[in-house]
Amino acid sequence: MRRVSFLLTLVLACAPGAWTQKAEPAIPRTADGKPDFSGMYQWPTYLPGDERGHSNATTFDRKNFAPLKPGGEAFLEPRTGDPRHDEPRDFCMPAGFPGGILSGNAMQFFQTKNYLVMVHEFQRMTRIIPLDGRPHRKGLEPMYYGDPVGHWEGDTLVVETTNFNRWSLDDYYYTNPKEFRMHSDALRTIEKIRWKNKDTLYYDLTIDDPKIFTRAWSQEFEIKAKPEWESAGLYEYVCEENNRCPGGKCESK
Amino acid sequence: MRRIVIPALLALAALASGIPLLAHHSFAAEFDDQKPIKMTGVITKVEWQNPHIWFYLDVKNPDGTTTNWGFAGGAPGQLMRRGITKDQLKIGETVVVEGFRSKDGSNNASGGRLTFPDGRNVLTAGSQDRVPPQTMPAKP
C-alpha cells in the first residue's frame, strides 16, 4: 500500500509538468541550451505573401526606410556607365554586408559556444561572429563586412556590426537604375535571429546610418532551413577563376 | 500551330514557376538585354568554373562558314543545386541556346536557356540573370 501511495504521489508530482509544457515545437539547441543555428539555409527572403517570392536577390523596401537627413539623398546614386562604379562585383570585388547576404545563393551556418560562422556560397563570403561578450575591435580600417559581435537575448541572437566602409547597400539598382543605394561609413547594423518555427529563422535587419537617415529602421526577412542541401554542402566560388568578361569586355576564347 | 503553342506553353510555365526576370551582379555589366539571341550549334568546349560556367558552340553562318560562340551560364554551385551537371553538356551534341549578346559585340553571350536534341529544356542562367523569352526565332 505504501508503495502504491508513493507511485501515485510520483505520478501526480510529474503530471503538472507534462501538462504545462510549451506547445511550441522544439527548436534545435546546443549542449548549453542556446538555440542552435548550425545547418544549411536559403538566403534571407521576403516574408510569406510577398509576390516577389524567393527567387531574386532580396532587397530593402523603400516603405521601411526612415526619413532621409538633409543631404541623405546622396546615398541614392545614378549609375554612371562605368562598370567599376556601377558593378564592382563584376571585377570580383566583394559584395559586402548587408548586400551580400541577400544574394540568391545557399548559406551554411556553424555554431560553437563562442562563435557563429555564416558562410554564404556567393563569393564564399564568411562572417565570423564572436558570441563570448567581447567588445568590437578597435583601430581597424573600415571593412566591406564590418566588425560583428553577438550576444543572446533569450532565444534571440543579436549581432551588432560596425566599422564599415562606404559600399552598396543592396541590389535594388537592377530593379530601378535611379536608385543605386550606397550606405555610408557610419553604418551600424543589428541582426536579430531566432527560430520562427522548426524550419524557418526569423531574421530582422536594422540599418542605422546616421549620415543618411534620421533614425534607425528595420526590415524583417525569413531564412528557410534547407537540410536537404546538407549532403552536397556548399560549392566552391572562386570569382577570379574564369571571370571572362569583366566590365563587359570579354577575353578571347 | 504546334510550333507556336509549345513555346507559348513553356513561357507560361517559366512565368508560373517564378523564374526571376531580373538581372544580377554581372549580367547588367556584361550583357545587353536589348539584344536577345537564339542559336543552334555544336558544343565544342565546356568550362565548368566560377563565377559562371561557359560553354562554346560552333554555329553555322548563312554563308556556310562557322563561328565559335561562347555562352555564360550561372555559377556551377547554383546549377548543380538545380540538378544541372557538367556531364549534361556533351561535346559534339547539337543544342539550341537562348540568351543575350555581350556588350562588347564579341561572339559571346549569356546562355540562359539550353534545349537538348530530345527537346529537354533547362535554365542555365544564374539565379538572377535575365531569362530569355522562348518565342524567339532561331538564328542564324
Choose the closest CB to A242 out of B54, B56, B104. Answer: B54
| Contacts B23 to A, Cβ<8 Å | 174
Q: How far apart are CA B81 and CA B59, in angstroms?
A: 29
3-state secondary structure of A31: coil
Put simply, the chain A residues between 35 and 64 with a CB less than 8 A from any chain B CB are 53-57
Q: How far apart are CA A171 and CA A130, in angstroms?
A: 28
Q: How far apart are CA A207 and CA A205, in angstroms?
A: 7
Give the β-pairing of B108-115 and B66-72. parallel
Which class for B3: exposed (0-12), middle (13-18), buried (19 or more C-beta within 10 A)? exposed
Q: HSE-up of A140 (CA within 13 Å, CB side)?
A: 16
**Helix residue spans in chain B (DSSP H):** 2-16, 27-30, 76-81
CA B32, distance to chain mean position in Å, is 14
Which residue pairs, CB below 8 angstroms and at least 24 apart, start in A129-133? A129/A159, A131/A157
pTM of the complete model = 0.82
- The structural domains of chain A, with segments of one domain joined by +, span 26-228
Residue A196 sits at φ, ψ, to 5 deg, of: -90, -45
Q: How far apart are CA A146 and CA A241, in angstroms?
A: 26
Could you tell me if B26 lies within 8 Å of chain A, comparing CB atoms? yes
Choose the closest CB to A244 out of B18, B54, B75. Answer: B54
pLDDT digits (tens, 9 = 90+) for A73-102: 888 787 788 888 888 999 999 999 999 999
- Whether residue A104 has pLDDT greater than 50: yes
Task: Look at residues A109, A120, A110, A142 and name the one whose alpha carbon lies nearest to residue A58.
Answer: A120
What ipTM, to 2 d.p.? 0.78
Q: How many CB pairs under 8 A join A and B?
A: 119
Cell numbers given for B103: 556588350
| CATH architecture of the domain covering A26-228 | Beta Barrel (2.40)
CB contact under 8 A, A121 and B77: yes
What domains can you pick out in chain B, each with its CATH number? 2-123 (2.40.50.140)
Q: How far is CA B30 from each of CA A91, B52, B68, rounded to the nearest angstrom?
A: 11, 12, 19
Q: Which of B54, B81, B85 to mutate to test the interface with A (most CBs of A within 10 A)?
A: B81
| Contacts B29 to A, Cβ<8 Å | 83, 86-87, 90, 246-248
Distance from CA of B70 to the nearest CA of A (A): 8
CB contact under 8 A, B108 and A250: yes
With cell 580600417, the residue in question is A141
pLDDT digits (tens, 9 = 90+) for A111-123: 999 999 999 999 9
Nearest Cα residue in chain B from A245:
B30
In DSSP terms, which residues pair with A157 in a beta bridge?
A152, A193
CB contact under 8 A, B30 and A90: yes
pLDDT digits (tens, 9 = 90+) for B68-127: 999 999 999 989 988 899 999 999 999 999 999 999 999 999 988 899 999 988 888 775
User: How many degrees, rounded to 5, is the angle at CA A207 between CA A203 and CA A208?
Assistant: 140
